[in-house]
Structure 1
Amino acid sequence: MPESVANPTLGYKLDPGELGLWNSAPASRSILRVLSQEISNWLYFKRKVEREGGVIIQGGISLDLRKRGSFLAAVAGRTSVWVYYPGERAQSNEFSEQSYKQYIEEKIRQLESQLAFATPEEKEKLEQQIQLLEIAMNLPLQLIKMLFEPLGLFLNAVV
């Protein structure tokens, strides 16, 4: 008896504020679907940074690959961009208390969107990360800077 090929349809949600179409794709075409969305995000970040006079110093695209049906499928993607603004812009690019809280809230939303596709072990890790971010959101910005800047971790990244 020939073995049947399972090719489930995967649904994708965009992050809040992300440009693009909310589509689904069969598992066999999911990598192409997610990669094209992440390339669009990369180009958006690149144009935005160039308009603002910055330079991309590091960045990348990562895909969360999992077995779905008979295929290795992309269940989520992430585009990261680290930006340098030369001159005066670099000094004035520090987070205010409000933008810091918005940054943390966005990170929490990203992690919550990953919960739907996670295994039980991954869900536990994601929930722990969300709890830590919620704690960090309630700490004063000055304390966060004191804790992270000596380690080389800066909060003025576009992610």
Structure 2
Amino acid sequence: MINLKINPDIVNPLLGYKLDPGEPGIASSAPASLSIIRVLQQETGNLLAFKKEALQNGGYVVYSKISLDMQKRGAFLAAVAGKTQVQIIYKNKNTNIRNKKNQNNNIDNNVDKNKDQKIKKLEMLIDRLKNYLISEKDNKIKSELENKIKILETQLLLLKLGNAVSNQNDEILGMIFTAYF
């Protein structure tokens, strides 16, 4: 009779993790069998921190993605690293600033200039969303991005046609991308 001893450290090795510089949290280790939960917990915390920061600064998260780097460790498929990506848009605070000296003489010019600025910003936002759509592999996220692009393209068309835009739509038009983590 052969006596085989199985070393538990080979079957379920302990994985050590380190945080990115400036990343909140505690660097710790986890066995391979629990690594996915450990890494996902850290990345979810990062996502919530990004959302909180955006909210505090008047922004809105339009896209977020958590990726796990999976590799076989021992007898388990383990998460050896994680990455959180967030796209945040902020309202453009400069769209309503007018030069008071020229306000009386150039009201029509300012309205046209604001409209042109909104059109340019909206076109830029649509282009950036389309670029993210091209590189995205997750079908659910692709679908969400496609829906947002359609909504923004409709708003662009309405703006170009000169139709009145509701306050909610006006907020969308005043937003631009300022951060991609």
Please give the range of the TM-score, normalised by the shorter of the 2 chains: 0.5 to 0.7
User: Any idea what SS the aligned residue of 1:157 has?
Assistant: strand
Q: Which residue of 61, 70, 74 maps to 1:69? A: 74
Counterpart for residue 157 of structure 1: 179
The superposition leaves residues 65-110 of structure 1 with CA deviations (integer Å, 9 ceiling, x where unpaired) of 10000000000001110000012279xxxxxxxxxxxxxxxxxxxx
4+ residue runs over 3 A deviation:
1-5, 151-156
Inter-partner Cα distance in structure 2 for 1:89 and 1:33: 43
- C-alpha distance in 1 between matches for 2:53 and 2:37: 24
Aligned equivalent of 1:31, options 4, 27, 36: 36
The residue type equivalent to 1:80 in the other structure is Q
- So what's the TM-score if we normalise by structure 2? 0.49
SS in structure 1 at match of 2:44: helix
With over 3 angstroms needed to count, the CA separation of the structure-2 counterparts of 1:89 and 1:30, relative to structure 1, is farther
**CA distance, structure 1, for counterparts of residue 70 and residue 57 of structure 2:** 34
> Which residue of structure 2 aligns with residue 111 of structure 1?
none
Q: In 2, Cα distance between the equivalents of 1:3 and 1:89?
A: 70
CA-based RMSD of the aligned residues comes to 2.7
Amino acid at match of 1:35: L
Q: Give yes or no for the alignment of 1:60 onto 2:82.
A: no
Q: Aligned letter for 1:70? A: A
The residue matched to 1:85 in structure 2 has which SS?
A: strand
Contact 2:14–2:30 (8 Å) recurs in 1: yes
CA positional deviation for 1:11: 0.4
Amino acid at match of 1:72: L
TM-score of the aligned structures, taking structure 1 as reference length: 0.56
Unaligned runs of 5+ in 1: 91-150
Any unmatched runs of 5+ in structure 2? 96-126, 133-176
Query: Where do 1:126-141 residues align within 5 Å?
Result: none
Deviation track 1:23-58 (CA, whole Å, cap 9, x = no partner) reads 000000000000000010011001000000000010
Give the direction of change, closer, same or farther, for the CA distance of 1:18–1:59 in structure 2 (3 Å limit).
Answer: same
Distance 1:89 1:61 in 2: 33
Match of 2:20 among 15, 20, 25: 15
Size of the aligned set, in residue pairs, is: 100
